[in-house]
Amino acid sequence: MEGEWPDGEEALERAQAALAAAAPEPWAPRDAPVVAACFVCFRRGAVGTGARGEHGWAAAAVGADGPVAVVRGAAGAPYRAGLLALREGPLLAAAVRALDERPDVLLVDATGRDHPRRAGLATHLGAMLGMPTVGVTHRPLLAGGDWPDEDRGAHAPLRLDGETVGAWLRVAAGRRPLAVHAAWRTDADAAIAVVLATTARVRTPEPLRRARRAARRARAGDGG
């Protein structure tokens, strides 16, 4: 599925339909996989949905102390629900490709199968990079499900039209759960395992926390 990013909403919707229908080889974590994450932020002070061409900073980080890469670029589009790949996809892909180490699996601040066309940004990014991906968000997009028990590691399915597309996952006892998402080559069980393996002291998975911090520091350093 690697290739060029779609250049408009209609092209993206066609690509999402193809991704949803694809059947790549499933991936599951084994033997302490190398986990990376990516994050993008845009200039402070913007209002509304943003705009095509506004400046952005994207970062990718490997594990708790591995390589970090930061790239600068432009938003591909304004924000549109279900079409986040147009806005953020190329910048995030560039950050991951800039890493000195290729990870086994990538955490993305976006949904995967929990999407109107079952192919959110986490899925699309994985297909473009040829890399298994897991989405991590604070809440689902369309899916629903009961919250899990209060203990760390407790989880409960998130379902969309009867399909399990992710899970609520409690990464810290008594704290609000995260929504973890099946994406490219991963299912809900893989998403749960990867996120649990990368969370300990804080609620956000460590690679994602490091990528977010790096992107925001770069923005601050550039006066953004």
Summarize pLDDT for 159-188 with one digit per residue, the tens: 999 999 999 999 999 899 999 999 999 999
The total of other beta-carbon atoms located within 10 Å of residue 125's CB is 28
Please indicate, yes or no, if residue 123 is contained in any of the structural domains. yes
Please indicate, yes or no, if residue 2 is contained in any of the structural domains. no
Please indicate, yes or no, if residue 76 is contained in any of the structural domains. yes
pLDDT of residue 202: 78
Rounded to the nearest integer, the mean pLDDT of the chain is 95
The domain spanning residue 132 has which CATH number?
A: 3.30.2170.10
Quick: pLDDT tens for 26-66.
999 998 999 999 999 999 877 778 899 999 999 999 999 99
Tokens of 213: 């911090």
Domain count for the chain, please give it: 1
174 burial level (CB within 10 Å; 0-12, 13-18, 19+) = exposed
Please indicate, yes or no, if residue 102 is contained in any of the structural domains. yes
Nearest-angstrom CA–CA distance, 11 and 95 = 23
pLDDT of residue 49: 86
pTM to 2 decimal places = 0.96
Confidence class of residue 20 from pLDDT cuts 50, 70 and 90? very high
Q: What angle do CA 152, 157, 161 make, to 5 degrees?
A: 160
Nearest-angstrom CA–CA distance, 130 and 76 = 21
Report whether 62 contacts 103 (CB < 8 A): yes
Q: What angle do CA 214, 125, 207 make, to 5 degrees?
A: 30
On the question of pLDDT at 123 being above 70, the answer is yes
> Per this entry, what is the length of the chain?
224
- State which residues form the domain around 43: 38-221
Please indicate, yes or no, if residue 15 is contained in any of the structural domains. no
